[in-house]
Amino acid sequence: MGILEKFKLDGKNTFVTGGARGIGKSIATAYLEAGANVAIVDLDIAEARNAADELKGIGPKVIAIETDVTDQAQVENMVAEVVSAFGELNVAVNNAGICVNAKADEMTFEQWKKVMAINADGVFLCCQAAGRQMIRQGKGGSIINTASMSAHIVNIPQPQCAYNASKAAVIQLSKSLAVEWVAHNVRVNSLSPGYIGTDLIMNAPHLKALIAEWEPQIPMRRLGRPEELQAICVYLASDCSPYTTGSDFVIDGAFTCV
């Protein structure tokens, strides 16, 4: 099999949490284009269905599933629904996440818990459910968890200690699961994007001033684009990466280099 053939995702069945918009939707699009079946998983089922309708015809099959990633029963039901629709699960992308910008001395415990529940607990629950399914199937699989460059550095000027801590947890969780599940050929890696100019960020009036401060800090002097994360996600899902597990991939325009 040649290198281009190895990048194809024909016959692979995937889900992407937080897949209704932004980075998640971009990854879902790439997987469909590469030949995979895709379940767009999101708490906002209306947006998930809109995304699925928009992407129909790009790849073999796309469905939308409503899921609260902090609810274990819903996560387990989601994986069961993916398997029912596609036959098995081969690739899981755990991308759902939130950020709360609040000073540490002013942040409420509820704010802290909400960020941790979605960004850390949610990733664990989705990894656990996906990993169990892949182990049962006996064919291995690939799990990709969205972390952040904020796991490596402290962003300024915005205060976001809960987000930073939660994303650092995602990286170490991914490494731990990679080691635990290596005997089952279930690979687990994380992706650490820098500032990505999703529609939500670029169209938010309250972020314009922050973007003006962020861009000079980035050596490339611009925010990334969601589609610039597609290639690494296809690589990690594909047969090109059988020896790649326990790694974190920083895609940030060299932000963390300086």
Active site residues: 148, 163, 167
211 membership: H or E segment, kind and range = helix 208-214
- Asked if 38 contacts 32 with a C-beta cutoff of 8 angstroms, the reply is yes
If you ran DSSP here, which 8-state letter would residue 146 be given? E
Closest CA to 187 of 137, 135, 227, 136: 135
User: Which positions ≥6 away from 212 have C-beta within 8 Å?
Assistant: none
CA distance readout (Å), 56 to 21, 36, 39, 51, 52: 15, 12, 12, 9, 6
Closest CA to 96 of 73, 126, 57, 139: 126
The single residue listed with the structure tokens 């980035």 is: 218
- Asked if 186 contacts 246 with a C-beta cutoff of 8 angstroms, the reply is no
Question: How many CA atoms lie within 13 Å of 236's alpha carbon, on the beta-carbon side?
Answer: 26
Q: How many CB atoms lie within 10 A of CB 186?
A: 25
Find the distance separating the first CA and the last CA of the chain, reported in whole Å: 40
